[in-house]
A and B are shown apart, each in its own frame.
Chain A
Amino acid sequence: MSIHTLEVLVENEPGVLARVSGLFARRAYNIDTLVVGPTTNPEVSKMVIQVNLEGHSLEQVIAQLDKLISVISIEELVNGEKKPVKDTQPDYQN
């Protein structure tokens, strides 16, 4: 396993933290750390989530997170650089 850091932009609305943390809980994914903060847009909050997952499990976490209506975008932070996740669509040229 390896630590991956996801930067998730969400609608700034009541219950959004429960939506995200509940998703991790019910699909049995562990959160290593979770930080929530504001953005320059008052309607949008930023969650930085560290997970100890890789491969299939990481892909599923991202895909399931992306299904939440309140989740606007998901990017992975690699060495401080933002990297778009694979748009939840796996590479079909395997």
Chain B
Amino acid sequence: MATQHVPTANGTAMNGATSLVKSLEAANVDVMFGLPGGAILPAYDPIFDSTIRHILVRHEQGAGHAATGYAQVTGRAGVCIATSGPGATNLVTPLMDAGMDSVPLVAITGQVPSAAIGTDAFQEADIRGITMPFTKHNFLVTKAEDIPGAIAQAFHIATTGRPGPVLVDIAKDALQAQTTFNWPSKIELAGYNPRITPDNQSIADAAALIAQSKKPVFYVGGGVIKANASKELAQLVELLGAPVVTTLMARGAFPDSHPLHLGMPGMHGSVAAVTSLQKADLLITLGARFDDRVTGKLSSFAVNAKVIHADIDPAEINKNKFADVPVIGDLRETISALIPALKAALAKNHPDLTPWNASILKLKSSYPVGYTLPDDGSLSPQAVIERIGQISGTDTIFTSGVGQHQMWASQFISYEHPRTWLNSGGAGTMGYGLPAAMGAKVGAPDSTVWAIDGDGCFQMTNQELVTCALNNIPIKVAIINNESLGMVRQWQTLFYEGRYSNTSLESKRVPNFPMLAEAMGCVGLSCERPEDLDATIEKAMSINDQPVVVDFRVHRDAMVWPMVAAGTSNDEIMIARATAPDWDSQEL
């Protein structure tokens, strides 16, 4: 049961729509992204008078990803709002995306009047049924008096425990009916009681296991960022002195500049990160979920390792990989409890990690994540991304779409702080990057926000540049234009004999990205030659009163390495085409 502040409007007569807006205000919402339509129209009248900033998007999908970007930057619930039917179904992808990446999101949709539900009415869609599989919970509200309770529960569910998306679908007649505002003073959900504090025995078992390990690795996932546990993690790492890997969702949870940081594990992870997991005798798993993109072929993943699995979601324990020591609870509490327990355990027995660290750090220096420049002197996509990172600096917030540019942005930008790297990790939603950048910039208006986008991704959601231009949201967009669906093309190169079926977008011919950007009220720039790269980035950095779009016209055939081919073992990592690391020279 959670108690909460009761607003002064409680007990006041109003209609359901006004009580919805009063509820959002009571939930401390400061911004929402949305687009009105018939069924939600009653709510837009009180929104007109509300202190909540409403940002009118051009497509509901943009509202959903923007709310996600806002949530990932601020740690607060993102809010999006849409009408019934197609308005609501346009939120489906962002809701699925937020579910896969555990993002606190509250989506509000209008529904046809309750008497019309089930009649195939105009703009009727069963959005509660549609979103049941991937929302943390959802509601269909048909009575005005139920609106405040549903909204209060929605924010409570979205932001506590393992965060996630919650949808509240409200029938139009409930918005129109008269009611008395009744924001609840407490929230009681018999079936929802997330475990926050880990039990002492599991902490003690974890500490004891760590103190016996000679080859431990911290396997750090996005949960560390959700739990705001980066500071505690740094203390734990210093205490043990073992290497760290950060997954795609955890980039920034631990500084890249730290000597024990091996980078990202997984399909496009560094040799040192992937190999450390494979050779470890203990995985100290913190807020990660053994995703197939990390484990590769599961039966050959970390076969000699015992597993400590700390997570707030009990259902993640043993889902993919057996946990010798599960620890259920909030990660900040878990790590805070683990530090003194481990200190005590290490005082009794402190194994020498020097040989293990030396062998892993040798791999890190032998096989740094790198790239070769194109032979023909054309622009390298990796160099573009690396230079943006270096010039813009480590306080910048980066978002990305999905594909090659996403992997390069993860590999070649140095992340020093949590909540500076936003991407669609679980869902792999092309088009996520630009609207997420919009939401991130709204949540962190004083930060520079770069969307590292692909030419394919950009063409899925670029309409939100109009929203950015009109609402003073000056994001920067780098289109890594290789005129292809680059990651799919890479797989066609490697696994389909170079038969490039339907991956050529021809986006160096059409559309003209700078003109498109200008047409949407942004500054459009272009860069094709390596010698112009820095000046173009600096030009983009100098424009802060308008969104900027840069068309970086890069070499087409660059590939993402290292790579563990889908379904194969992490032991078969390749550092270039048909090139494995020289294992004979390594001692592991």
Contacts and interface: CB of A to CB of B under 8 A. Distances in A.
Contact of B191 (A14, A56, A71, A94): A71
Contact of A92 (B133, B189, B201): B201
Given A26-B133, A69-B136, A92 B202 contact: yes
Contacts of A92: 201-202, 205, 323-326
B328 A89 contact: yes
A72 B189 CA distance: 9
A3 to B, nearest CB: 22
Contacts, number: 60
- Interface residues of A: mostly helix, strand, loop or mixed? mixed
A63 to B, nearest CB: 4
Contacts of B136: 69
Contacts of A19: 132
Interface string B565-583: 0000000000000000000
Interface in B308-329: 313-315, 317-319, 323-326, 328
Interface string A31-72: 000000000000000000000000010011001101111111
A89 B157 CA distance: 21
Measured as residues with beta carbon below 8 angstroms from the partner, the interface class of chain A is: 20 to 34
A26 B131 CA distance: 13
A62 to B, nearest CB: 9
B128 interface: yes
Contact of B315 (A11, A14, A66): A66
Contacts of A94: 324
A18 B129 CA distance: 8
B191 A89 contact: no
Nearest to A86: B314
Contacts of B140: 14-15
Nearest to B161: A67
B48 interface: no
B191 A60 contact: no
A90 B323 contact: yes
Interface string B278-319: 000000000000000000000000000000000001110111
B137 interface: yes
A69 B128 CA distance: 14
A59 B190 CA distance: 21
A11 B328 contact: no
A11 B137 CA distance: 13
Contacts of A93: 205
Given A15-B128, A19-B132, A69-B137, A60 B201 contact: no
A14 B191 CA distance: 16
Given A15-B140, A18-B129, A92-B202, A69 B157 contact: yes
B317 A89 contact: yes
Contacts of A15: 128-129, 132, 140
B289 to A, nearest CB: 13
A88 B325 contact: no
B203 to A, nearest CB: 11
Contacts of B495: none
Nearest to B325: A92
B189 A60 contact: no
Contact of A90 (B157, B190, B313, B326): B326
14 contacts: A18-B132, A22-B132, A59-B318, A60-B315, A60-B319, A63-B315, A68-B191, A69-B136, A69-B137, A69-B189, A69-B192, A72-B190, A72-B191, A89-B328
Given A15-B132, A89-B317, A90-B318, 18 more contacts: A10-B191, A11-B190, A56-B318, A60-B318, A63-B315, A63-B317, A63-B319, A69-B191, A69-B192, A70-B191, A89-B314, A89-B326, A89-B328, A90-B317, A90-B326, A92-B202, A92-B326, A93-B205
Interface of B: 128-129, 132-133, 136-137, 140, 157, 189-192, 201-202, 205, 313-315, 317-319, 323-326, 328
